Amino acid sequence: MKKKVFAVMMGIVLCMALFTGCGKAAEETPSSVPETADEVLGSEPETVDEVSGSEPEITDGGTEAADDAADVNIRVGSLKGPTSMGLVYLMSQSEAGEAEGSYAFTMAAAADELLPKMVSGDLDIALVPANVASVLYHKTEGGVSVLDINTLGVLYMVSGDTSIQSMEDLKDKTIYLTGKGTTPDYVLQYLLTENGLTTDDVTLEYKSEATEVAALLKEDPSSIGVLPQPFVTAACMQNDALSIVMDLTAEWSVVQGEGGSSLVTGVTVVRNDFLSENPEAVRRFMEEHQASAAYANENVEAAAELVASYGIVEKAPVAAKAMLYCNITYIDGADMQTALSGYLEVLYEKDASSVGGSLPADDFYYIP
């Protein structure tokens, strides 16, 4: 059993290293650009995504079923960042004994700290990157399902060149981004193609880390870079000539059109063994997760105080500004499947291994 778990985890970690584009560079990164979330967050946000998605369908199993669900302790893992920001209200309610369900929360710095616990059964629910959820699905032979989308895209195009207002304006330009064969690379190439451009029309310059792109933009604001949050904020703080010239999540929505897929960052997965044994407890979690995400978006100042108290971002005022960049959301059911499946399909067409070798089957998407 231990050998099997080890083999599963090695496969997942290799996929994560290849497609997140967040690994450490061999060379020292420029010290002028902050490298941690606490250091880089802080500039005024420019966009806000509203909470969307259908209400989870909670079936009425009677008083006895509700009591049984309340007695089930759900072990939830999340990442120190946007996914946990959307959970802080539920975390605080649970800590105060005011949540309807019973929860034990684990917060990790990286997804590879949570995945072994999902494989071994030490966690019941985890909030992880979207493509990693698909990899986990294949490695566990369909052992997990997606409950909801918790974070939409966090990729932005940053430059001091204000003439860039559309994808077409990128023709004959040089664009800096993190490593070739990573999610940002696939997303950008997809958007270029959908807007009538190819990689022959632009020059893509790849860097090992987001910090390198941010440092380059700081020195030459006329350059164009694709960055995730919170590095967007870091770059703009370092040079006030820089600004967001394009929100790639919005650009994705434009080319997909109404009813299309979304640019997705984080999803919530559940072990199917746990789900089959505790369906009411899981559905109660979904309901409370939705309320927690809504609270984070609708009560930013109060939620920021909780974010700081849990050590996700050091200071509440900084957290309040950061949260408006993070695209915290809650999308479940058929809307979740539509948004996520199309996103995974784009990654699959670029490189099948980014989603675990093949697209997940319909049972990957939990629809109550």
Q: Token match 């967007």: residue?
A: 232
* pTM for this model (two decimals): 0.77
- Count helices and strands in the chain by DSSP H and E runs: 16, 11
Two structure tokens written together for 149: 């989308």
- Domain-ending residue, one of 212, 232, 256: 256
Total domains present in the chain: 2
Identify the domain boundary among 256, 286, 317: 256
How would you write the pLDDT of the chain (368 residues) with one tens digit per residue?
A: 544 554 545 454 444 444 443 333 333 333 333 333 334 433 333 333 333 333 334 344 444 544 466 689 999 999 888 888 899 999 999 999 999 999 999 999 888 899 999 999 999 999 998 998 999 999 999 999 999 999 998 899 999 998 999 999 999 999 999 888 888 899 999 999 999 999 999 999 999 888 899 999 999 999 999 998 777 877 887 899 999 999 999 999 999 988 889 999 899 999 999 999 999 999 999 999 999 999 999 999 999 999 999 998 777 887 887 788 789 999 999 999 999 999 999 999 989 999 999 999 999 999 98
Examine the domain organization and report whether 276 and 249 are in the same domain. Answer: no
CB atoms within 10 A of CB 259: 9
- Shared domain check, 130 and 17: yes
Q: Which of 228, 256, 284 is the last residue of a domain?
A: 256
Indicate whether 84 and 173 sit together in one domain: no
Assign residue 80 the CATH number of its domain: 3.40.190.10
Q: Find the domain containing 161 and state its range.
A: 155-256
234 and 279 part of one domain: no
One domain, residues 217 and 148 = no
Q: Does residue 33 lie within any of the structural domains?
A: no
Does residue 32 lie in a domain region?
A: no
User: 196 in a domain, yes or no?
Assistant: yes
Q: Are residue 70 and residue 139 in the same domain, yes or no?
A: yes
In the chain, DSSP assigns E strands to 73-79, 102-108, 125-129, 144-152, 155-159, 174-178, 203-207, 224-228, 243-247, 264-271, 328-332
207 and 314 housed in the same domain:
no
145 and 159 inside one domain:
no
Q: What is the largest CA-CA distance in the chain?
A: 66
CB 260 within 8 A of CB 49: no
Cross-sheet strand order for the sheet of 328-332:
102-108, 73-79, 125-129, 264-271, 144-152, 328-332
Confirm whether 322 is domain-assigned: yes
